[in-house]
Amino acid sequence: MQKLFILISMLMSIGLYAQQNNCTITLSGYVTDEHDDTPLEFASVVIKELNKGTSTNANGFFEFENLCAGTYTIEYSHVSCSPGSKQIQLKENVQINLVLEHHSDIIGDVVLVEEKEENKPFLSQTEIANQELDNIKGKTLGQGLKDVTGVNSLQAGTNVSKPVIHGLHSNRVLLLNNGVRHESQQWGSDHGPEIDPFVATKITVIKGANSVRYGSDAIGGVVLIEPEDLPTLNGISGEVNLLGYSNGGQYISSAIVQGGVKNVEGLGWRLQGTYKRGGNAKTPNYYLDNTGYEEQNFSSAIGYQRNGYNLEVFFSRFSSDIGIFSGSHIGNLTDLQAAFENGEPFVKSGFSYDIDRPYQDITHDLLKVKGGLPTGTIGRLELVYARQNNRRLEFDSHRSANQNRAELDFEITTQTLDLVWKHFKKNNFEGSIGVSGMNQKNLFRGRDFIPNFERNVLGAFIIERYSKTRWELEAGLRYDYNHLQVYRRDDTGEVLSPDFTFQNVSATLGGLYKVNENFNWKLNMGTAWRAPGVNELFANGVHHGAATFEIGSDELSLERVYDLNTTLTYNEKKWKWGLNIYQNWINDFIYLQPVQPPTLTIRGAFPTFEYQQANVSLTGADVDAKYTYNAHWALKMGASYLYAFNLTRNDYLIQMPANRVKAKLIYSFHESEKIIHPAVSIETEQVFKQNNVPEGEDFVAPPDAYFLLNLEGGLTTSIGKQKVDFSLTIDNLLNTRYRDYMNRLRYYADETGINVGLRLKVSF
């Protein structure tokens, strides 16, 4: 903790030094309509070389502070306007006027050009950036993404969660952290992604099978965690975030500082650090014993880009200690059944920051090297190498002879290499071709749960897109080869080394039709596959973080998904809405089936689950809408529906998220030059009871429906020359007592109660 505070202080000192080193120039101005000089509110103004942006207030005013002397390109745009660009040389404080020509009939074209340039897949997707991203940075990645319609969270207590997209999670949802596929022990429900959201300036959630682009595991969706590009010009900027939450006494500090190098144009660097700590969480009626956590993260990057050539090196470390709710570890079958029936845990406590057994100690290191170069005037070649090392220590509630020894000790090392060539648009065609490889080695120490293994994966893909007038079409094909070598001992102690080979193709065909300037239709069809994980093949024992006993099967075959996904979007001045409808058929879907009775071991009694396979159908829809009544009032709504059916058993599919509806009413106050974007909002969330479950198979029936009320308020101002963002949130305002079906600890305890959060962000 002390080291993290020293690091954050150093980062802030560097920023303050930069301001004293002639990087104190202010650029401000107004954006107006060319025809009648009307101020344009919410116009976007970006300094291209610094990748810094802001938006205008109600008077059309914008301001950038603490800029260094130099020549910059100012890009500015507004909905229903043709974008503009202006080059300016800064030597001292200056105010400029930017003029845009307003055309209400081209709004759709502006949006679609941006989408085409990024060459996005024709799948439903949501981007989280700016204020919305700031609001989730104090949470885990899984908890923060729950605000996206169609995305839920699989939890194992209060501090461990992972995203669930249309009912699929873990190895079926690919996380790309700074362009690198996140590889760790992500197979467990108690294994949250070791990713610090404070690194990102944009998070994109892509819903649907996207295996052609990203590999065979991405059959449920992809989450892209993306930092901003490194600066290329001299000057230093950054931000400091301070957050506090009442529930659990959580406090969080994070800082980032970045800049260029004087006299070396194109060379940039970045440093970032985060510290988090929380104590026992509290439900409306009691504390959850041993649910504290402590997290320390660090990342650094340096890169050079000039004349189309670039080279970047990135390193990050994620380190956390997470307490596991002690009420989930129960000594005998009688007490376990009593805990199921009691409605409240037998183990209770007061507030404490102490982390005792059972707990997890996780460290994740990532090293990435990326290079790119132009291939004449026709395309660009990019190469990315990454090495990840994940060490997971899991400590049981019962101490061993050596109290410092973990009962479960996993260490997985992953190396990936991706080579992609993209060709620029010619004769209405553009696309990419690439190859990828991965080597993964896993070692375990302590009690048997999953064996040692080595996995090698090779893949190759091609994607081509055609666009003309109102149509865009895309087709892609990928082949992947997956070889798994396992090393394990049988009951006699003999070492066995079975190996498994999985290989198959993935394909996609999608299109976009621009019905008119406001209305778009996307359609995507695809097929993808996933090889079973080592835990699904060989798990056999207590999975203590999830408080379960799990049994694998080495006879499992690969999963094959057939995905149909269509999206309608409408965008005009007052109304914005989107409708996503999907149908997934998955052959040989692997899932955890409850097995009665629970298992009694020397470590206690645990609910038992067995990995099984079935053909399943996932049918669903997501709806998002926003209505802007005037400059002050707006209403946002979202709803998700999922119907999951086990075709093999002719019954419902277990462990799927419940349907839900959200609504948020937003009021924006008048702005001034000093107070920007002041707003308050009230949000309601109705989660329905998950009635579509096989009757009598689970250990505890699904929890009742619940209703939550949340409040939020915030504004942006300045203190001296520093831009400052304030926000106040109150989650579960009514202190509602409830349980969520997707929380694996719902068998034992309620969810957390009211939680008041305060956030302060200082940008320099």
Return all residues near 124 (Cβ < 8 A) that are at least 6 apart. Answer: 150, 206, 207, 208, 522, 565, 567, 578, 580, 582, 622
Q: In this model, does residue 268 exceed pLDDT 50? A: yes
Dump the DSSP string for 713-731: EEEEEEETTEEEEEEEEEE
pLDDT at 447: 82
Q: Which amino acid is at 529?
A: W
Please state, in angstroms and rounded to a whole number, the distance separating the CA atoms of residues 715 and 699.
Answer: 47
Is the model's pLDDT at 415 over the cut of 50?
Answer: yes
Ordered by where they begin, the domains of the chain are 2-102 (2.60.40.1120), 124-763 (2.40.170.20)
Give the contacts of 29 (CB within 8 A, at least 6 positions apart).
61, 62, 95, 96, 97, 98
- pLDDT at 756 exceeding the cut of 80: yes
Residue 6 has pLDDT above 60, yes or no: no
Least confident of 227-236, 263-272, 316-325, 635-644: 227-236
CB atoms within 10 A of CB 597: 12
Give the residue with greater pLDDT, 213 vs 331: 213
Q: Looking up tokens 């949340």, which residue turns up? A: 710
Distance between CA atoms of residues 760 and 764, nearest Å: 13
Decide: 547 and 532 in contact? Cβ < 8 Å.
no
For residues 282-306, average pLDDT: 95
Residue type, 361: D
In angstroms, the CA 26 to CA 519 distance is: 40
How far is 604 from 337, CA to CA, in rounded Å?
12
Distance from chain centroid for Cα 710 = 22
pLDDT band at 449, cuts 50/70/90? confident
Instruction: For 574-596, write each residue's pLDDT tens digit.
Output: 899 999 999 999 999 999 999 99
Helix, strand, coil percentages, rounded to 5, for the chain:
10, 55, 30
Q: Any bridge partners for residue 635, and if so which? A: 627, 665
Of the two residues 364 and 541, the one the predictor is more confident about is 364
CA distances from 667 to 226, 672, 713, 714 (A): 30, 16, 9, 11
410 vs 15 pLDDT, higher one: 410
Q: Return mean pLDDT, the chain.
A: 88
**pLDDT, mean of residues 113-134:** 69
- State the number of CA atoms in the 13 A half-sphere of 445 facing the CB: 10
pLDDT at 106 (0 to 100): 29
Could you tell me which residues come within 8 angstroms of residue 98 by beta carbon, excluding any fewer than 6 positions away? 29, 30, 31, 32, 43, 45, 74, 76, 84, 86
> Does residue 607 contact residue 548 with C-beta atoms inside 8 Å?
yes
pLDDT at residue 644 in the model: 97
Q: What is the pLDDT of residue 460?
A: 97
pLDDT at residue 104 tops 60: no
Tens-place pLDDT, residues 314-354: 999 999 999 999 888 888 888 889 888 888 888 889 999 99
pTM: 0.84
**pLDDT (tens digit per residue) in 158-208:** 888 899 999 999 999 999 999 999 999 888 777 889 999 999 999 999 999
pLDDT confidence of residue 567? 95
Is 226 in contact with 204 (CB distance < 8 Å)? yes
Which pLDDT score is estimated for 459? 97
Residue 611 has pLDDT above 50, yes or no: yes
Local confidence band at 719 (pLDDT 50, 70, 90 cut-offs):
confident
Q: What is the pLDDT of residue 602?
A: 82
| C-alpha–C-alpha distance, residues 456 and 441, integer Å | 9
Question: DSSP string spanning 6-51?
Answer: HHHHHHHHHHHHHHHTT--EEEEEEEEETTT--B-TT-EEEETTTT
More confident call, 441 vs 106: 441
Please give the Cα distance from 387 to 377 (Å, whole number): 32
Query: Is residue 283 within 8 Å of residue 749, measured between CB atoms?
Result: yes
Percent above pLDDT 90 for the chain: 59
Stretch among 71-80, 112-121, 412-421, 423-432 having the lowest mean pLDDT: 112-121
- Map residue 751 onto helix, strand or coil: coil
pLDDT at 35: 61
